[in-house]
Amino acid sequence: MVTLASLPAPVWPVVVLAIIQFGDGLLCARPVQFVAECFDAVGWPRRFWRVMPVLKLAAAGGLILGIWVPYVALLVSLALVAYFVTAIAMHVRAEDFGRNLFLNATGMLVLCVATSLLSFTRLDG
């Protein structure tokens, strides 16, 4: 039987994901060219661009906080899965089938799913 854990073990995938989200948040603060091009490619309205670094930095903080506070990192990692599923859908809708979809959004989805499974699922024997 598979059960969900309230705290991550191992912790390192959560820390790695937090570092990536923190870096992504910094890249979105004043969007670097490839981030701006990605937002434009999917039709993300410019008035919402300033929300992205807040969300990504909050995700990074939530992942780190969740190392000690039960269920917080699990909730954040699952929210990131939902975020990247939505991002993939936006790329598909916009017919943006290049690097942004396959390397960035899909790669991050795989990383978020792997973190959720590796750090929060337990096999009960």
Question: What pLDDT is recorded for position 19?
Answer: 98
Cα–Cα–Cα angle for 40, 45, 48, nearest 5°?
Answer: 120
pLDDT the model gives residue 52:
96
CA–CA gap between residue 91 and residue 95 (Å, rounded)? 6
- Give the model confidence (pLDDT) of 4-32 as tens digits: 899 999 999 999 999 999 999 999 999 99
Write down the pLDDT at residue 95.
Answer: 93
In whole angstroms, what is the distance from residue 54 CA to residue 35 CA?
15
- Examine the pLDDT at 125 and tell me if it is beyond 80: no
First to last CA, the chain: 7
Q: Provide the 10 A C-beta neighbour count for residue 121.
A: 12
Number of structural domains found in the chain: 1
Q: Which domain holds residue 91?
A: 2-123
Residue that the structure tokens 């973190």 belong to: 115
User: How far, CA to CA in Å, does 114 sit from each of 56, 68, 94, 122?
Assistant: 18, 20, 27, 13
pLDDT at 98: 86
pLDDT of 68 > 90? The answer is yes
